[in-house]
Structure 1
């Protein structure tokens, strides 16, 4: 039987070679991790200024402070968050929209190499929403029915006003007043009434129904989910029927019109 004998010298040499390989790969791994870290913190690759564009109500300082918080520190304790190639762009945009309900859009990008530009679009007040006619506070609504900010006190009829309960656990800011279909139908009814020569001043809504209040105190009751063109067509056919004598120019001779029952329109004439 033949034995394979190794001399201590050969064993020692092979052991050194193995240790060298381990150290080499370990150093390579460390370099792979830490070299980009050092590069990411290079002063020439850091964001040095923040410019904010498009805001008029929300203060620039508030926006800048939010951005600064997001680009301060490191990812995984290694890579600089203020690096122009690594900064958390999507996180900043998302948090701007979460923090400031007045913003309809927010975008950030690097300009002039070391400058971070923030571009925001603020929502424009389209109407007011109040929980009730004697509510202590009312809120701005945009043209999608989105409640985005508390409104100051206004003189009557500065903004068209919606009244009604909404589902909100805390503040109504950040909620939609009505679902998109209901809001779209409501707006179409309001605009249609204007075309017919009337002056809508407000709309009261419940879970299913809406009531437009005209300037002469006539109520127009309709189903929020019903097609607006059909609702208006039924209304117009009734008020323009000379035998019913319900209209005198832009004045209606009825306390209310109930349009919730298809072609059957119910009304109560003024005495």
Structure 2
């Protein structure tokens, strides 16, 4: 049987070959483009060579710099360098610093120029102590973040109660509860300067007990408005028998029941 190749078949063959050639050219072009882009990520002018640290107080700037440089080593998928100013892992660096140093309240990492990044740190300020077996520093938001030094004289008010979290930083009370509580505790303590506050305990029922050195205890509910509690306490001091007898002569004053005040004398 004889075979005749029609002109249309030769035309389709030429088109197929042309498509193959175009595909190869396109693939080579994309490969060259990607290679060029990859090469740009390794340009010395775009590599991070300096790390500026500010705001660190309890940790040396050099320690923070070493920490950051360790996280700039290596590459993404063994291809893209982490030292490139446009590709460096700034968010993961900030998260890692906060996790490694609980005393850091916040960390901001940003580029200064094409070869320098800045690490701006805000450290927590101690507002009180949280004590269990040992005492730890606690900031104004109730975040327990670091072991406290031994003070020769009392510097901060000591609080006791449960915290959330297995390791530092831990949270004492719900966020937003500690600051108004500490303000109320300070106001009550300043109202009776002759009595020295020893510790403040918050139990599982959210009842607060202020323990004074002389044995006197002030009780109130955490859920009550601070202004109302302070007003009840002030009125109690102005009423019999408190106005005629020192507080050291009482075991406790209970402010948890609205206008009804309960107390016990020694």
CA pair 232-44 structure 1, distance change in 2 beyond 3 A: same
Per-residue deviation at 1:61?
Answer: 3.8
Per-residue deviation at 1:65?
Answer: 2.9
1:76-128: CA deviation from partner (whole Å, max 9, x where unpaired):
33322111122122221222212211101111122243111111011122211
Instruction: Specify the alignment match of 1:130 in structure 2.
Output: 131
Instruction: Specify the alignment match of 1:60 in structure 2.
Output: 61
1:38-68: CA deviation from partner (whole Å, max 9, x where unpaired):
1011011100111211112123343223322
Question: What TM-score, normalized to structure 1?
Answer: 0.85
Q: List aligned pairs for 1:117-196, cutoff 5 A.
A: 117-131=118-132, 135=133, 137-168=134-165, 170-171=166-167, 173-196=168-191
2:38 matched to 1:37?
A: yes
Instruction: Specify the alignment match of 1:19 in structure 2.
Output: 20
Moved more, 115-124 or 158-167: 158-167
2:259 matched to 1:260?
A: no
Instruction: Specify the alignment match of 2:212 in structure 1.
Output: 214
Instruction: Specify the alignment match of 2:226 in structure 1.
Output: 228
Instruction: Specify the alignment match of 2:112 in structure 1.
Output: 111
Structure 2 Cα separation of the partners of residues 226 and 32 of structure 1: 67
3-state secondary structure, aligned to 1:71: coil
Moved more, 112-121 or 66-75: 66-75
2:87 matched to 1:73?
A: no
Unaligned runs of 5+ in 2: none
Structure 1 Cα separation of the partners of residues 265 and 95 of structure 2: 54
Structure 1 Cα separation of the partners of residues 253 and 32 of structure 2: 79
Unaligned runs of 5+ in 1: none
Tell me if the contact between 1:75 and 1:81 (Cα under 8 Å) persists in the aligned partners.
yes
Structure 2 Cα separation of the partners of residues 162 and 202 of structure 1: 6
CA pair 255-14 structure 1, distance change in 2 beyond 3 A: same
Per-residue deviation at 1:195?
Answer: 4.0
Structure 2 Cα separation of the partners of residues 164 and 7 of structure 1: 90
3-state secondary structure, aligned to 1:233: helix
Instruction: Specify the alignment match of 1:102 in structure 2.
Output: 103
3-state secondary structure, aligned to 2:7: coil
Q: Give the root-mean-square deviation of aligned CA atoms.
A: 2.5
Structure 1 Cα separation of the partners of residues 78 and 38 of structure 2: 9
